[in-house]
Structure 1
Amino acid sequence: MPLSRTWRADLMAGAVVAVLLIPQSLAYAMLAGLPPQVGLYASLLPLLAYAALGSSPVLGLGPVAVLALMIAQALGALPAGVTATEGALVLAAEVGLVLGVAALLRLDALSSLLSVPALRGFETGATLMIAAGQLPVLLGSAAAGFTLPELVAAAPQGGLGLASAVWGGAGIALLLLSRRARSRMLARLAPLLLLMGAMLLSAFTPAAVGVAQVGALPSLTLPLGLPRLEAALWLQLLPSAALVGLMGFVSSLAVSESLAQRRGEKLLPAAEMRGLAAANLVASISGGMPVAGSFSRSILLHEAGSASRWSLVFVAAFMFIAMLALAGPLAHLPKPVLAATIVVAVLSGFSLQPYREAWRYARAEGLLMVAVTGAVLCWSIAAALAIGVVGSIALLIQRTAQPHVARIGRVPGTQHYRNVERYAVECQPEVVGLRVDESLVFTNARGLVDAVLAHVREHRGKVGVPARVLMLMAPVNHIDVSGLTALQELHAALQAEGLRLEFSEVKGPVLDRLKAVGWLERYDVSLYLSHHDGIRAGEHALRPSLADMDAPGQL
């Protein structure tokens, strides 16, 4: 794409996303219990930092709803004398440092700690909790809480305001109607137009009497400076910062990877971690709050034709102009209208379809999704993330605790070998053909001997008395020390049964490791280039020389 066209595309994408980011920045800052200008500050310099170090041209960085809920919980018990704004700066600095250290140590693989079911369960629970948490604001109530039990307990003392309910209800209705409009541009501009209209109506008519408003804001100039440097405060917020950092990186990476696949681009997870680290560190010295990638804004950048990370620079420029223009009018913005934009925005992506699909495909993972969602709603953010991480690891261990070993036979008239339980195949009486369907590592190594001997007994009962066990090793990508020990135990167990152990189709990297310790020679294990060659070799056939397979990675 010519440079001029690239700049025009990035400029247009930046303008479109800035329109969406303005109301979201205000709303998510207040959702986190912070002054609305904090959301604007977090949408300026942090975007420039990510643009310099990140790798995705379409990651819509800034305040996000899920992190806002986590930030609100983290700032709920600050020491006396520490304001929420000061706590948010410390939290952003710690998130940046945690991600920065993880990037230096190349720990971007930490994103795999949260499986997709756990991540979706968390996001859905947070979505519902955010919407529920805005109900008191919509209704003019003073009730507040970070979980459903807290909201229910506070409801009787909260009180209700009819005027607030009218403002909030009207805001939701107008936003929902705008989504039915044929013009996609009108739907995107609707939140901003609603806020502008509400500010004008509130400022020049008595319609907002008795309705809570944002109130006068300080001078909207970037408050550059270091966060509070108090050891006790940093230690108190560090666990929350680690959770916010993990969630921010995992969710941002999920968004940017999905869009990179659509665009045929290559994403660098390590660069994404560095970019997020820099963005949060910059937010901590420019009056902001922890930031991450937003799915809605990223999709919008993609659809608007963003061609490079310059689009984020333009977003920041338009946000700066908007910040200067909105300093006065924001004071008249009714809080129920701002709450309406939050509710409609977060619930727009709500769906039960992932739960149904997970339940049909793998019930254990479906239950994990439900458990994580329930923990967000009824317990806490930290507990939900812990359940998600521990549950994901537990399911992985449960799936790999027993190695999948299949007895295989030849499909008649071919050289293909398939599972005897799924296909009509031919088996030779003198050899037990087996296929190991996963790497042999410490989580599953202990079950290898029992699995193989069970197939040997089945072969004897149905086919004949074997003399060899030929294991097709093509699916095995790695054998660790525990797996190697299990193979040694298997060799001894088969030797006690009067059977030889043989391998076929061992991958090059695995074969290199076996050769490095002389394992094949030590245990006199036959090795065949193809499984079909091994089946045809016969009990007394000459084994291929290992010298013929000396080139690393040949197999």
Structure 2
Amino acid sequence: MGDALGEDLLAAVVVGVLLIPQSLAYALLAGLPPQAGLYASLLPLIAYAAFGSSRVMGVGPVAVLALMISQALADAPAGVAPHDAALVLAAEVAVLLALAAGWRLDALAALLSVPVLQGFETGAALSIALSQLPVLLGSSAHGSSLLQVIDSWRHAAVPWWPLTAVYGVAALVALWLAKAPLLRGLERLMPAWRAQAMTRLAPLGVLLAAIGVAAATQAGGRGVDLVGSLPSLEWPLGWPPLDLALWRELLPSAALIALVCFVSSLVVAESLARHDGMRIDPRRELAGLAAANAAAAIGGGMPVAGSFTRSVVNRQAGARTRMAGVFTALWMALAILVLARPLALLPTAVLAATILAAVAAVFDVRPFREAWRYSRVEGALMAVVAGLTLVQGVAWALAVGVAGSIALLLQRTARPHVALIGRVPGTEHYRNVGRHQVELTPGVLGLRIDESLLFINARQLADVVQQQLAGHPETRRIVLLMSPVNRIDFSGLTALRALHELLRARGIRLDLSEVKGPVLDGLRDGGWSAWFDGKVFLSHHQAMHEDG
């Protein structure tokens, strides 16, 4: 426990330093006073730690939400202060996410398949690296997508600034050396656990060294962009404006922000959790994000979500529990109050280098190769999501990813797979005749239904069975092995009845075997005893050898 708290404290120091300039930048991007970004990075971290499930999630202002907030504020009623409107948005997002948690709408997270998660993770890493590249080189270009950065760089007044680039590249090299090479060297001199702790302190050491060099060389006067003076911290705790007209006007924007907040945050949490073998609870994520936005609403902030950048840095810095978020908030508040002057001297290029080093650690092309080998379609979906995240942004990528996952699901389940099965000689096991040497029972056709019977595929049931029946005209009885069927909805019940009537008209009896208890209960509740005149058998072997 003590080791975990120590590593959480170390991660908090590293992340807190990065969080300050990011918070200021995202608040300005949203059209809000810079203090709003700072306030949105304090209480929300503590609130998420109390209710969320990810141990490394860094909540706070994020670029995607900042852009959406800016658009929502542009449509706000005239005369409303932008910060007041942002507080209302945060409160509405909190309410909507809390309702979603209460109504268990977290089940929608099942639409985020592994290709979507992996594609988003890779695309987000590339997008973040691309957005930080101009900062690293001292360019006036900016943007959060490939097209934005390219267009901005083409028209940039300052394509790059040599002295700034020196700071950025030097910091990047130092951070790379501070990982494996430094760790190997320190492990020769001290115990492994101490060497790892000192290696994790390396990013903070690079930041402090950069501050010292920048102060000694008066880098700000030589054109190097610095973090600059921080705003004073005057915590305005209170309720957001209770103007019903304003709440009603902003509700559509809040609903869209809440959706993007949950989906993008869950993608971040699950992407990072997969690396550590951890489990994310989507319902707890809804509750944690609801609490974080409620804290932002009463703490003078703005709508918040999970940040991929800060979460990756938090993980790379060694965070072990959600207490890292609490320590980050406390350290950030202390840094604003005590370390405002030295932090103002930190070159922004060094911050960009720290972010680049963090996202480089999660970039991996192996899942793309593995997905392509296993399923070309899923591999292509992964690549499309990654590309859209890089070129168009998170919203487009997630929309296309979810739509693609649904399309693949519908394609695979729209036609139920029904296999002709026979007995493995000398056993009571029945297998697909196309894959095994089996024995068929004369006059009895054994078929295994490999899908639940739902509205998606139910209409195809009779056609599929008739195709099997066409090759066995002597059949007098059909036995459906139902063990793979987990559910039959009303469309499935209707299709089963239609198949029953079709076979009865041809003088063929329909029997079922190995029906699961909940499925059989549903059939009984649906009144199937009024029309079903076949039998239900406990085992398929018994059904195939029933005399009458």
- Which band: TM-score by shorter chain? 0.7 to 0.9
C-alpha displacement of 1:146: 3.0
Which stretch shifts more, 83-92 or 222-231? 83-92
2:402 matches 1:389: yes
Partners of 1:45 and 1:271 lie apart in 2 by 18
C-alpha displacement of 1:46: 2.1
Partners of 1:215 and 1:316 lie apart in 2 by 20
What pairs with 1:131-150 in structure 2 (closer than 5 Å)?
Answer: 131-150=129-148
Matching residue of 2:228:
215
Matching residue of 1:448:
461
Change (3 A) 1:50 1:493: same
2:491 matches 1:472: no
Specify the SS of the correspondent of 2:74: coil
Change (3 A) 1:372 1:440: same
1:291 pairs with 297, 305, 311, which one? 305
2:509 matches 1:514: no
2:491 matches 1:493: no
1:20 pairs with 6, 11, 14, which one? 14
Unaligned runs of 5+ in 1: 1-5, 541-555
Change (3 A) 1:352 1:268: closer
Which stretch shifts more, 126-135 or 529-538? 126-135
Matching residue of 2:68:
74
Contact 2:47 2:295 in 1 (8 A): yes
Matching residue of 2:213:
201
What pairs with 1:31-46 in structure 2 (closer than 5 Å)?
Answer: 32=26, 34=28, 41-46=39-44
Partners of 2:169 and 2:280 lie apart in 1 by 42
Which stretch shifts more, 127-136 or 137-146? 137-146
Matching residue of 1:61:
57
Contact 1:98 1:245 in 2 (8 A): no
Specify the SS of the correspondent of 2:447: strand
C-alpha displacement of 1:26: 3.2
2:173 matches 1:164: no
Letter of the structure 2 residue corresponding to residue 270 of structure 1: R
Partners of 1:101 and 1:18 lie apart in 2 by 31
What pairs with 1:357-436 in structure 2 (closer than 5 Å)?
Answer: 357-436=370-449
1:346 pairs with 359, 367, 371, which one? 359
Specify the SS of the correspondent of 1:60: coil
Letter of the structure 2 residue corresponding to residue 370 of structure 1: A
Contact 1:412 1:426 in 2 (8 A): yes
Unaligned runs of 5+ in 2: 184-194
Partners of 1:253 and 1:36 lie apart in 2 by 30
Partners of 2:232 and 2:510 lie apart in 1 by 79
2:208 matches 1:186: no
2:125 pairs with 127, 139, 146, which one? 127
Partners of 1:365 and 1:82 lie apart in 2 by 47
Contact 1:23 1:191 in 2 (8 A): no
Specify the SS of the correspondent of 1:98: helix
How many pairs align?
518
Partners of 2:203 and 2:122 lie apart in 1 by 22
C-alpha displacement of 1:395: 1.1
Change (3 A) 1:336 1:84: farther
Partners of 1:142 and 1:53 lie apart in 2 by 40
- Partner deviation per Cα, 1:224-268 (whole Å, 9 max, x = no partner): 345576455564454234212222134335655875x65xxx875
Change (3 A) 1:358 1:37: farther
Change (3 A) 1:99 1:258: farther
C-alpha displacement of 1:191: 2.1
2:108 pairs with 107, 110, 117, which one? 110
Change (3 A) 1:341 1:304: closer
Change (3 A) 1:344 1:38: farther
Partners of 1:83 and 1:146 lie apart in 2 by 27
C-alpha displacement of 1:326: 2.1
Q: TM-score, normalised by structure 1?
A: 0.84
- Partner deviation per Cα, 1:303-345 (whole Å, 9 max, x = no partner): 7664xx5565445444443443322212111111111112221
What pairs with 1:90-101 in structure 2 (closer than 5 Å)?
Answer: 92-101=90-99
Which stretch shifts more, 74-83 or 108-117? 74-83
Matching residue of 1:175:
175
Contact 1:59 1:293 in 2 (8 A): no
Change (3 A) 1:358 1:142: same
Contact 1:28 1:342 in 2 (8 A): no
Contact 1:108 1:269 in 2 (8 A): yes
C-alpha displacement of 1:84: 8.5
Contact 1:70 1:381 in 2 (8 A): yes
Change (3 A) 1:22 1:85: farther
Matching residue of 2:190:
none
Partners of 2:389 and 2:366 lie apart in 1 by 19
Change (3 A) 1:219 1:33: closer
1:457 pairs with 470, 473, 478, which one? 470
Which stretch shifts more, 338-347 or 240-249? 240-249
Contact 1:472 1:504 in 2 (8 A): yes
C-alpha displacement of 1:42: 4.2
Contact 1:73 1:146 in 2 (8 A): no
Letter of the structure 2 residue corresponding to residue 508 of structure 1: G
Letter of the structure 2 residue corresponding to residue 149 of structure 1: L
Change (3 A) 1:384 1:267: closer
Letter of the structure 2 residue corresponding to residue 62 of structure 1: G
Specify the SS of the correspondent of 1:506: coil
Matching residue of 1:524:
533
After superposition, the CA RMSD in angstroms is 3.0
Partners of 1:60 and 1:523 lie apart in 2 by 55
What pairs with 1:172-321 in structure 2 (closer than 5 Å)?
Answer: 172-180=172-180, 181-182=182-183, 183-208=195-220, 209-226=222-239, 230-231=246-247, 232=249, 235-236=252-253, 238-252=255-269, 255=272, 268-288=281-301, 290-292=304-306, 296=312, 299=315, 306=321, 312-321=325-334
Contact 1:418 1:425 in 2 (8 A): yes
Change (3 A) 1:373 1:85: farther
- Partner deviation per Cα, 1:190-224 (whole Å, 9 max, x = no partner): 22222222222222322442011111111234343
- Partner deviation per Cα, 1:49-85 (whole Å, 9 max, x = no partner): 234334x4x6223247xx7232343245453999997
Specify the SS of the correspondent of 1:524: coil
C-alpha displacement of 1:529: 0.4
Change (3 A) 1:281 1:254: farther
Partners of 1:165 and 1:69 lie apart in 2 by 24
Specify the SS of the correspondent of 2:226: coil
C-alpha displacement of 1:87: 7.2
C-alpha displacement of 1:426: 0.7
Change (3 A) 1:210 1:357: same
Q: Quick one: percent identity of the two aligned structures? A: 47
Partners of 2:437 and 2:514 lie apart in 1 by 23
Partners of 2:164 and 2:496 lie apart in 1 by 71
